[in-house]
Each structure stands twice: as structure tokens, then as C-alpha cells.
Amino acid sequence: MSQMIHRRNVIVRTEHGLHLSPCSRVAQAALKFRSQVWLTKGSVRADAKSVLDLMTLAAGPGAELTLEVTGDDAPEAVEAILHLFEYDLVSASS
């Protein structure tokens, strides 16, 4: 049985892009869910539960990423990661 892929676009709104600290926050949020969580920039796909994987995205300020989530708690994971990119990472970088 194939699972539905929940896909949304997110914008990196932090002043310095996805450096170590925001990558760590994204990974910590993703690890709270059983679902698989991926972020993609161009042809680079990263496991959002891995800080090192996220760093390979080299996502600077304003970069558009594609969030893809599959699993039983995918809708909740999508909302949590979207909220992180929209509000939490922005306020943490100010």
C-alpha cells in the first residue's frame, strides 16, 4: 500500500539561511514524528531528521524548499514544520 505524500513549499526566512542552528531546530521538530520528512532544494534531497543532511541543502536566505512528508502523522508533521519556517525560525534569528 502506498502512502500519500504531503507536499508543501517553504521559504527560508532566516537572515543567514539554514546554518547549523536552524538545521538543528528543524531536525528536532521532525524527529517528534513517526513520518518520513524530507526537504528538497533543486536536485538535493535531505532527510529533515538529520542535521548533516539538512546542511547539504546550502539553503540561503530566500531559498525555496519543498517539504515532503509521508506517514501516519504526516498532516501534523507538515503543520509543525510549516509553523517552524513561518514563525519560529524567523523570530529566533532576530
Answer yes or no: are the C-beta atoms of 72 and 50 closer than 8 Å: no
Q: Decide if 19 is catalytic.
A: yes
Q: pTM (2 decimals)?
A: 0.91
Tens digits of per-residue pLDDT, 39-80?
A: 999 999 999 999 999 999 999 999 999 999 999 999 999 999
Q: Does domain 4-88 have CATH number 3.40.1360.10?
A: no
Of the residues 6, 16, 19, 83, only one is catalytic, namely 19
pLDDT over threshold 50, residue 1: no
